[in-house]
Amino acid sequence: MFLETIVVGPLQVNCYLVGCEQSREAAVIDPGDEVERILDQLQRHGYRPTLIINTHEHFDHVSGNQALHSASGASIVTHPMAAAEITQISSRALLWGMRAEDSPPPDRTVTEGDEIQIGESITLKVLETPGHSLGSITLVGDGAAFVGDLIFAGSIGRTDFPGGDYDTLIGAVREKIFPLGDEVVLYSGHGPATTVGRERATNPFFV
């Protein structure tokens, strides 16, 4: 599996490029901004974007959807609870004094247990992991979990936004993320990667 992280936008979002080495097809997880950089990196490595996957509906993670979809024709994938919200992110961004382009509606919505196929060799399983937002999902495959803003190295996502709930988030981590196994690498929406084992043992919200 090809995997590269690009940190994009003023809120320093981790955008992940996940590619199938056989078909050279790739998914772009959370294209929050700087779409030209994303496309340049994909081209440099010889990958073609066929999927845009949003871990949740917040504008800093989806504001590149429109430009990337227009440039590549890649299909947009979200949770149903994020589907309407991503088409209205320009107004949300203004509340933060920022600009964002509304996303097209998703081409596909996914829920708990669904699988997303990338090319010939990569399958990501969908887990519903709300708490930071209503439409938050985690994507699990090949020893990795892309968790969005659910959990970070040494911290957790904010729960004071609309749709957020602290107890729901804590429950999602304990019930969905920790059972994945200590060796699984967690790729968060911001900051460095970590592991399930490290967060289980040291994250102050769980010890």
Mean pLDDT by 10 residues, the chain (207 residues): 97 98 98 98 98 98 98 98 97 91 98 98 98 98 97 98 96 98 98 98 97
Report if residue 207 sits inside a domain. no
Report if residue 169 sits inside a domain. yes
List the CATH number of the domain containing 103: 3.60.15.10
Work out the number of other CB atoms within 10 angstroms of the CB of residue 177: 22
Residues 12, 139: Cα–Cα separation, whole Å = 20
E-assigned strands of 44-202?
Answer: 48-53, 75-78, 108-109, 115-118, 122-128, 137-141, 144-148, 151-152, 155-156, 185-188, 194-195
Residue 49 structural domain? 2-202
Report if residue 187 sits inside a domain. yes
Report if residue 117 sits inside a domain. yes
What pLDDT was estimated at residue 44? 97
Residues 59, 98: Cα–Cα separation, whole Å = 10
What pLDDT was estimated at residue 170? 98
Report if residue 160 sits inside a domain. yes
Residues 186, 143: Cα–Cα separation, whole Å = 9
Judge whether 27 and 49 are in contact, CB under 8 Å: yes
What pLDDT was estimated at residue 136? 98
pLDDT digits (tens, 9 = 90+) for 67-120: 999 999 999 999 999 999 999 999 999 988 999 999 999 999 999 999 999 999
Helix, strand, coil percent content, the chain, rounded in steps of 5: 30, 30, 40
Residues 122, 142: Cα–Cα separation, whole Å = 8
E-assigned strands of the chain?
Answer: 2-8, 13-19, 25-29, 48-53, 75-78, 108-109, 115-118, 122-128, 137-141, 144-148, 151-152, 155-156, 185-188, 194-195
Helix axis angle, 65-72 relative to 35-45, nearest 10°? Answer: 40
Report if residue 30 sits inside a domain. yes
Number of domains in the chain: 1
Helix, strand or coil, per DSSP, at residue 63: coil
Q: How many residues are listed for the chain in this entry? A: 207
What pLDDT was estimated at residue 95? 87
Global model pTM greater than 0.95: yes
